[in-house]
């Protein structure tokens, strides 16, 4: 969308050059009409976003074509989205439809980041206030879970390892399940130990399969006992660490409040494809087995 400098060297073009020069805007006029400050215009010049169309060889004054105002105003509006200058350069280099798609992709990333930051702020607030108000953030329910035959994969992991482990293990166990029919339920992750910046689990990924497939199984498997569990459902934004810890705290606080003993480790039950979900989509249950 940018235009190259005019060739207005003395004697080049004669009256044509003179006519073009009369149409050029000074830096101050261009900045005023382009809705930006002279300081911003100088910055955009240095960044290659809005180079002048002519620089007077004697005075050093910079001049701009009036038709460049549309680009200047677009830059101002993109900066209104807090778009980095490097991304603005990408937008300016693209034709209209592709530029529109690049803006849409940028804004979708902003919304994902904002949703994550919002849930992180909620997590920090409840943690620093001693869990005050956590009961209003999450709805905790109960359900009965039948006995299940599950394929398993286990490893030690810290928070930064979990995405790769969980996604990879689901893929590997799904392939094994397909070899004996198909999965008989949704995958879930059991945390047999603390997982944080200082502790690494262990963590177990489980995928239910048809009990009739048991005789032919060669992959690691076990029986997950029937149990009653308390759970709360969270969104993709709430799934991120450390904000996910607030959901675990909410279920524990609920169980303590009603006198329900936690009889097993916490777990995450994934009932949809997390990768394709949006920040506000519900993707996972945080659950604890409870007595009674």
Domain 15-93, CATH number (from 3.30.420.40, 2.70.150.10, 3.90.1150.10, 1.10.1660.10): 1.10.1660.10
Residue recorded with tokens 């044509």: 16
Measured CA angle at 155 (ends 150, 156), to 5 deg = 140
Domain with CATH 3.20.80.10 in the chain: 135-290
Residues 6+ apart with CB under 8 A from 168: none
In this structure, is the dihedral angle defined by the CA atoms of residues 97, 109, 133 and 269, taken in order, positive or negative? positive
What is the pairing mode between strands 282-290 and 267-270? antiparallel
Domain with CATH 1.10.1660.10 in the chain: 15-93
Is 99 exposed, middle or buried, given 0-12, 13-18 or 19+ CB atoms closer than 10 A? middle
Banded pLDDT at 6 (limits 50, 70, 90): very low
The fold of 135-290 is Multidrug-efflux Transporter 1 Regulator Bmrr; Chain A (3.20.80)
pLDDT in tens, 28-53: 999 999 999 999 999 999 999 999 99
Residues 6+ apart with CB under 8 A from 240: 116, 119, 120
pLDDT in tens, 172-210: 999 999 998 889 999 999 999 999 999 999 999 999 999
């Amino acid at each position: 969308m940018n235009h190259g400098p005019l060739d207005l060297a003395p004697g080049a073009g004669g009256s044509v050059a003179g006519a073009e020069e009369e149409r050029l805007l000074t830096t101050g006029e261009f900045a005023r009409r382009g809705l930006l400050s002279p300081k911003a215009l100088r910055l955009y010049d240095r960044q290659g976003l809005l180079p002048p169309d002519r620089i007077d060889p004697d005075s050093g004054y910079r001049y701009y074509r009036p038709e460049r105002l549309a680009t200047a105003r677009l830059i101002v509006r993109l900066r209104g989205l807090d778009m980095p200058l490097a991304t603005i350069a990408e937008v300016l280099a693209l034709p209209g439809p592709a530029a529109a798609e690049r803006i849409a992709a940028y804004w979708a990333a902003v919304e994902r980041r904002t949703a994550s930051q919002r849930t992180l702020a909620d997590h920090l607030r409840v943690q620093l206030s001693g869990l005050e108000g956590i009961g209003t953030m999450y709805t905790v329910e109960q359900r009965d879970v039948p006995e299940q035959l599950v394929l398993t994969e286990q490893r030690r992991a810290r928070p930064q390892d979990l995405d790769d482990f969980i996604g990879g293990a689901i893929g590997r166990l799904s392939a094994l399940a397909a070899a004996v029919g198909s999965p008989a339920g949704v995958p879930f992750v059991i945390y047999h130990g603390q997982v944080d910046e200082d502790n690494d689990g262990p963590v177990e990924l489980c995928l239910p399969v048809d009990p009739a497939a048991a005789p032919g199984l060669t992959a690691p498997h076990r029986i997950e006992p029937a149990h009653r569990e308390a759970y709360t459902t969270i969104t993709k934004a709430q799934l991120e660490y450390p904000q996910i810890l607030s959901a675990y705290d909410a279920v524990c606080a609920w169980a303590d409040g009603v006198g329900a003993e936690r009889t097993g480790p916490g777990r995450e039950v994934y009932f949809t494809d997390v990768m394709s979900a949006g920040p506000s989509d519900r993707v996972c249950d945080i659950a604890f087995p409870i007595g009674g």
